[in-house]
Amino acid sequence: MSVLSLRSWSLWCLGYPDAALADADRALGDAREIGQAATLMYALGIAAPTYLQCGNYAQASAMTDELVSLAEEKGALHWGATAIVTRGLLAILKGTALEAIQMLTSGIAARRSVGGTHWLPLYLSNLSAARSELGQFADALRCIGEAMTAVETTKDRCCEAEVYRTAGKISLKSPEPDAAEAQIYFERALAVARQQEAKSWELPAAKSMARLWRDQGKRDEARELLAPVYGWFTEGFGTRDLKEAKALLAELAA
């Protein structure tokens, strides 16, 4: 009998997407061998977001669908709510903001109803991003404020850098863009990611700052910031973040 070991999310955060996927696969295999519904739901609930962050949307979607079915069968409200939120995250990455808002709002409410707080800052920041995509800036600001509060109240800091990066993006998207405020948020995101040694959160923060500096004509500074972060990675070059970083570096070097 195998013993479940699931470190995939931590491995992804630390900058090892290929290792994260391998760990998720092992954990799912262990969970299926153990044959307990609760164990399998736990494995699916962690593995699906890992696949999502690594850019394998089809596999993440299939895992989420399996989690929905199993949660409904067993009456597992927490995991059912988690699956709904994951569907919302998938909708954001697929560019369907309205669907994302509906899913995230429903899923967050359902998780809160059963006392779920883990990953709440990430969920709220994604809801904020989706609202900003549709021009709902008052709601976006409210949601990102809730996300920042949730970081402090829940002490769930694993996605803190992304919360501040999202706040910076909203500052730039708002009807009255504030580049100075955005830079402060991006700097905070970078500082948090570096403190946590979370390379997979440092990279998008560096990309956001590099784009801001590029648009301000500071191309050399942008390249000097992004290049060493990108250069640190040794795997996962097919993921969205790394492909975007490579393209941005090529543009900055042109």
Establish if 199 belongs to a structural domain: no
pLDDT at 166: 97
Check if the beta carbon of residue 206 is closer than 8 Å to that of residue 222: no
> Which tens digits make up the pLDDT trace of 154-165?
888 999 999 999
pTM here is: 0.93
Q: How far is CA 247 from CA 77, 154, 166, in A?
A: 42, 37, 21
Establish if 89 belongs to a structural domain: yes
Check if the beta carbon of residue 117 is closer than 8 Å to that of residue 126: no
> Which tens digits make up the pLDDT trace of 128-161?
999 999 999 999 999 999 999 999 998 889 999 9
Establish if 171 belongs to a structural domain: no
Establish if 40 belongs to a structural domain: yes
**Of 120-124, 157-161, 230-234, 237-241, where does the model show the most confidence?**
230-234
pLDDT at 156: 87
Number of domains in the chain: 1
Establish if 30 belongs to a structural domain: yes
Establish if 60 belongs to a structural domain: yes
Q: What is the CATH number of the domain that holds 85?
A: 1.25.40.10
Check if the beta carbon of residue 242 is closer than 8 Å to that of residue 230: yes
Q: Which helix (H) or strand (E) segment is 54 a member of?
A: none
Establish if 2 belongs to a structural domain: yes
Q: Which domain holds residue 55?
A: 1-97
